[in-house]
Each structure stands twice: as C-alpha cells, then as structure tokens.
Structure 1
Amino acid sequence: MRNLSLLLIEDDQIETLKFQKIVSSINEKHKVTIAQNGEEALRLVKNIEQLPNVILLDLNMPKLNGLEFLKILKNDLVLKYIPVVILTTSNYPNDILECYEMGIAGYLMKPLKYQDYKSLIENFITYWSVNEFTRKN
C-alpha cells in the first residue's frame, strides 16, 4: 500500500480530530492536511508543491461551501484531476446528484456511531492506498 497525501476540508474540529486519529492509527506515514473551508483549501492546493492524492470534502462549511469549492476546482486545468470524495452528513438527493455531475470520485455519508465512522475511513484509506488512479508520491 502506498502512503497517501490527503486534504480534508472540514470546518468541525471534532470531525477533524477523529479523522486524523483514525488515519494515523492505520499508517503514520499518511499525510493529512486540513483546511477549514473552501477558501483555505483553494489557497492550499494552489500554493503547495505536491498536490494531494485525494481530497475529502464536506459540503456544509462557512465562507466557500463544498459545492462552490468543487465548481472552482473542477474548472481549473490542473486541479480538476485530483479525485474528490464528499464526506458529509447531507443525504439530500440534489446534493448527491450535483456532486456526481461535477465529477466527484465518491460520496460518503458520515455515520453517527464512531465505530461505523472508523470503519468507513479505514475502508476509504485502504481503497485509495491501492488505487492506481491516484497521483504517485
């Protein structure tokens, strides 16, 4: 399995801490970068030397929400190829459809129970660690 560089775009600090804890328990060599909203995430991806292998994106955020971020990202000639997986509490059918129409790689619902969330993130990491579509480190 390959070490991943992940960008988590999430405004909830508890969700961020849970995610980081789970990822580091799987493999401490995975790199997790955090952005608290879409504006911060855009600054990060435009200014870092190495693009993330995968972006995990929450939809409900202040300043620049997930859908707005996704539209900007998918219109950028370089950034549009970064796989984006939605990680959110929204199961609103229009959100799901709109995200897939914009070219997301997946849509994951945040489970309420910690153990279910942990299992979801572990499966996500396992999949993207072996997926050949992700950028090489």
Structure 2
Amino acid sequence: MRHHSLGQSSTFLMRRDLLLNFPFRRWGHNMRKILVVDDDEGFQFLCKMVFKRSGEPFQILEAYDGVQALEILQSDDPKPDLILLDINMPRMNGHQFLEEYSKQAVGEVPIVAMLTSSEQQRDRQNALSYSFVQDYLLKPLCIEHIQKLKRLYQHVCNQPVVS
C-alpha cells in the first residue's frame, strides 16, 4: 500500500497460511498479542483481518497514534508480543513514540517493527537506533514481511525456525 491521501483507497493481498505457525510467546489464555499503531483505518482493518483469519488466537490491539500506544503499554495488562509501528501519525508520531517509549521501557520489551510508507533514510536510521526496534519494513504489508517478522521473532526468542 502506498501512502494515500484521505478518501483514496488501497488494495491489500495476503496469504493467511503464513501466519499459522508464527511462534509468539504465549500469555494467559494462549492469546498472542499484536499492537498495531497506525492512523490508517484501512491498514488497521487489514492487519486485524489477516491475523484473525490465521486460525490462531490473536488479540489485535489498535492504537491510532503514539499516545494511545503508550496508554496501552502502560496498562497493567500483559504486554504485546509484537508492535507494528507507523511513523506518520497525528498527536504523537512514530519517532516521538520511540523516544518516549525508550524512557519508559523496563523489563521485557516487545519486539518493535516499523511498518511505514516512509522511504527516507533518516527515518530508517532514527528508528533502527533503538535497541528494541528490530526491523524497518516498507508498506504494503506483504507475504515477505510476514515471513521476515516470523524469522525475526524466532531469532530474538532463540526459537528454532519453523517453515
């Protein structure tokens, strides 16, 4: 998906079978949590549908900007396993979120993967300067991204790669 102006549409294609063996840590009730931080309602919907139709018990948490994401992460609820973070958002953008979160991050920190339309090298460098940001992916969300996130998660958790 390219970054579109308000009122323009986007088209997404996704294979749900790639998510069937995604090795998330398990929280209570075997729920796997993914926090999607993006102000694009279409992208939020896509993520929700892709993960929910995977056949696994995912809980998709939605935040439409960095302020909402911090509120979710500061709650007493278990932390998400994965955060998909956009850069260009109102109130608190992705860079501001990373800066604020880096001050507050204590203990087990979820994996953060940037998933954004920004191709600017300075955005990439800034995001990857945080130790908890593990990857910088360009939209659209595609099969290769899901495979890469799966390998990344397994590597970080020292789990064997499952094809």
| TM-score interval for Structure 1 and Structure 2 normalised by the shorter chain | 0.7 to 0.9
Structure number with the higher helix fraction is: 1
Query: Structure 2-normalised TM-score?
Result: 0.70
Ranges in structure 2 where 5+ consecutive residues have no aligned partner: 1-20, 25-31, 159-163
C-alpha displacement of 1:79: 6.5
Hey, what's the Cα distance between the residues in 1 that align with 2:123 and 2:87?
9
1:123 matched to 2:147: yes
Query: Structure 1-normalised TM-score?
Result: 0.82
Q: Is the 8 A contact 1:55 1:85 kept in 2?
A: yes
Percent identical among aligned pairs is 23
Hey, what's the Cα distance between the residues in 2 that align with 1:21 and 1:53?
18
Hey, what's the Cα distance between the residues in 2 that align with 1:124 and 1:31?
20
**37, 40, 46: which is aligned to 1:18?**
46
Q: Is the 8 A contact 1:74 1:80 kept in 2?
A: no
Ranges in structure 1 where 5+ consecutive residues have no aligned partner: 112-116
Deviations 1:26-70 (A, max 9, x none): 234122100010001111110142001111100000000000001
**61, 65, 79: which is aligned to 1:37?**
65
Higher gyration radius (CA): 2
Equivalences for residues 92-107 of structure 1 within 5 A: 92-103=120-131, 104-107=133-136
Single out whichever of 119-128 and 101-110 deviates more from structure 2.
119-128
The one-letter amino acid paired with 1:98 is N
Query: How many residues are aligned here?
Result: 129
The one-letter amino acid paired with 2:46 is K
Which of structures 1 and 2 has the larger relative contact order (alpha carbons within 8 angstroms, sep 6+)? 1
The one-letter amino acid paired with 2:117 is T
Hey, what's the Cα distance between the residues in 2 that align with 1:58 and 1:80?
22
